Structure 1
Amino acid sequence: MRDHDDTPSTIGNDLPPILAGAVCATAGTGAALAVLGSDSPLRAPFVLLFLVAAPAAGLFALLRGLEPGARAATAVAGAGAIDLGAAAALSGLEVLSAGSSVAVIVAVTALLFVGAAADRRNERSTAEHKHH
């Protein structure tokens, strides 16, 4: 008979992916609420989460050379800079709204992930080329 203390905790191992999934779902909901123009009271906090989490995730994927803590801090700071730049550009064009902000951040985040994927692909091809 096994005691509950004999088995390793799976909660500690499973918690980061569960939290990441919850943040993605919440941020995605915020983006959808903004694009749809919903009057939900959850719209503002969920959109703000999206506006920070999406570019931070893209930057985190791009900044592979740093230690995890520095990588996360740099990604969040960079996300703030991306958001401020997007807000300034949209304000200058006089089209600043939650929906337009979400659209710009989606585009910038997609470019960050494409850049990270291209960087990984270049690293793999360079490593394979060195072995031949």
Structure 2
Amino acid sequence: MSEYFEIAYAAASKRLCLFTGTGFSKALTQGNVPGWQELIEDVCDEHVQNLKLKSSLFPKEGENPLRLEEAAQIVEMDLAGQGKNLHEVIASKIKSIGLSGETESIKEFFSERSFRIVTTN
């Protein structure tokens, strides 16, 4: 069965699930949304209590010692100790970013169909 048929069938049967990453958000905002690492670094700059946390998670030279989801979990623990929620902090940072560019077909697709979205962000 063709992939296109499978996608069309999933959409028609209201069982479509989109798996997206930052690239989808960047495409819909003409690059105005930050990537996952940039978001975590911004949260470190503005919210974490451990001043060395950012430099240990994201060294200026060499590779990051942890995957981004692991780094986010560590930042989340620091925030939890302050009574803050990582998801809420990030949501407050990106909520003002709107769609830009040619998005009419995307808006139409989202308004006319029922589906789930899974994101890596």
TM-score (normalizing by structure 1): 0.25
Instruction: Tell me which protein shows more helix as a share of its residues.
Output: 1
Higher relative contact order, structure no. (Cα contacts within 8 Å, ≥ 6 residues apart): 2
Structure of higher CA gyration radius: 1
Instruction: Tell me which protein shows more strand as a share of its residues.
Output: 2
TM-score (normalizing by structure 2): 0.26
